Structure 1
Amino acid sequence: MQRAASGVVLPKREVVQAFARVCGMDVDEITRLWHAAYRGSPGGRGTRSRDPEQRPDRIKDLPGFCTALEELRQANGAPSFRMMERRARATDRELSRSTAFRISTGQQPPASAECLEAFLVACEVPPRDRRTWLDAWRQVQWRAARQDAERREEMRRLESVVAENVRGQVSQETAVRMLRKAGFEALERFRRFDAPWTVECLECATTFRIRLSDVVLVRATCPDCPKLTERVREAWAELLTNRSKLLSRQHVRALRAATVLQPRMHRDHLDVPVFVADRTTFTILQSAVWHPALEEALRRHVRRPFYLDVLLVHDDTRQNGLRHRRLAKDAGLIDGPLETEPFKPDPDRMNWAAQAEGASGRVAATVQRDTVRPDPDIKTPWKPTSNSGA
């Protein structure tokens, strides 16, 4: 703030606007004065000269060219896109508001020299400076075409490696098989190795577009699956606060002693495993009376239709314990190491199982499916954790 008010350099527009809002000044008037100062200052930054990389002949790629055009628009008073359209039309040039917006935001570079010249005219760039921008645009276009040709050649070589025929092109059957192996289902016919392909995630049924080349290079991921765990944990934290007042104190204490594990979304079914470390907590949570509160919290965070499946993970047996622990470890449901000593069989222990119907119509509680409780007589570094931090 001291540097912004010193008068030595021109601060950023965002800083000036924030300064004006805090001081109760007219933000529009301050913005207009800032644009006037920007236009009158060398390089648009006080007494400092223009950065060399911002010069048109120093731009390396099309995104950088769009960024430089937006800086040019800001330096010339930041005219509105409607005003830019009017200025271009006044000189018999075509520049729509949407085109000017896409260029300024970097979504689309100028498609032709005429489009670029219309943008420059709308920014009131003098004719002698337009030629510099046009020459820079042609240089960037040539460099982008060369890089695109190199990328296509690289993709052609990669496709010839993974193809299963002498032509070196991936067939429809091979592409679908590779896609399913990566966890996606094709929603349209395969066109090209590097063409966008509409697919559906087999886990969460999210629809998006990827390229088979990205699948081969292990760069294709579902945009929605990584967010599922975070959203479920946020809903679980909200459930523990009992904001809806649907839970009794006994259930709140039991839920705080439990731990929500990694959820899974399969089509329209959301599986939420909950690890219960002791028999008392399991006895309380095996009833489905708390499931509607969990579902209500989940629907505020998971913004898509789903049927809820609640899985209580609990073990009260010594037989086959190590096998169940390995299954849980492979499924990613526990983070602790496996026991180095085998469990001692105890015929007095028995498995607990309970199922109940919830409000969603398909809520179930099941036990001893994914993980186990370690033998208390065996010293092991693995300990179950709880959401309460105890």
Structure 2
Amino acid sequence: MGRKDQQVPDRSSAVGRLAQALKDGKRQARRTYADMAKTSSRYCAATYSRAASGTMLPRREVARAYALACGLDVEVIDGLWLAARAASRRVGIERPRHSATRPRLIYDIDDLCVGLGELREREGAPTYAQMRQRAAEAGYEVSTSTLQRIATRNQVPTTEHVLDAYLAACSVSPLRRHEWHTAWARARQRAEDADHARRDVARAEAQVAGGAGVVTAEKAVEILTHARLLPVEGYRGFRAPWSVKCGGCSLVRRVRIADIVLGRLRPCRQCQSKERAVARTWQALVEGIVPLSQQQADVVRRSGYRGLQQVMGIGTLLFEASDPDAQEVLEDPSAEWRIALEKDITRTLGTVPKLDVLVTSDYPLN
């Protein structure tokens, strides 16, 4: 008769749940650790006892051997072991934004490091000596220190040979290695692109700053003004996001001075939406899609629309009148065409537009 088992210290933890499952299986099978050691000569009774103690996480192969010796479902024990392994490594480690083990989801170097690290975890965290042996059996030479740095996310495989060696060490089949190669190449390309972008920004700042070395707040405000933007907070740096107000619609957005200098600043979406809405509605007036009286329709067709100028939320419609009668109709705030235009724009944008009209003439004055 074997000694009575000690209770698992914390049965609510992942390691405790694994230990309790092992103890329950041993009790149901009515086995002793000595019997189990005789069944499998690979491990001694003390090893099995420690595996079910709940004070430490046993090696995966020990948990599997324990399950086989007691007639337990190896897949169930394997699942508990993986959960315990993940829980034991969770403290102090930032979780990835998605499961990067699927190569197609890998976006950048950080994702690649997470994915390669997870491969070893999924394989049961074999020792680095075991991983090196697996790689050697597959025909790849790699050091245990290299495997360790990759698995702990401190190094990216530098060559395809090293990547293949690591994948073989994690028992990834040759058929699945191609997608890992694609993910590796994609992540490296993004890293190179990011490095080129950083160098471009550094060169641009040096060029704008001149002898000053860095772009000053005064120079940054000058650049903003040329871009029709107004600062709403203090300048924080050439590369730093800066809260600014659009000079056209007063929308507050975040921009970088670097993006303005390099021509990468995206147009204001709110201004663009308003400009497109006005242009579409004016075209509908010209084509007669929006009904107008004959006089108003004639004026619209022979007048030239030159665009929308926006300043601090107020839009000014720019027209070129072909004759005095057209100019009079265009400048009339209660004109039929203007009411129809504002109504259609309001329906499109969901807000009542603030519009003025500026008319220039291309006819001779008496």
Q: Which protein has the bigger helix share?
A: 2
Larger Rg: 2
TM-score (norm 2): 0.49
Normalised TM-score (structure 1): 0.46
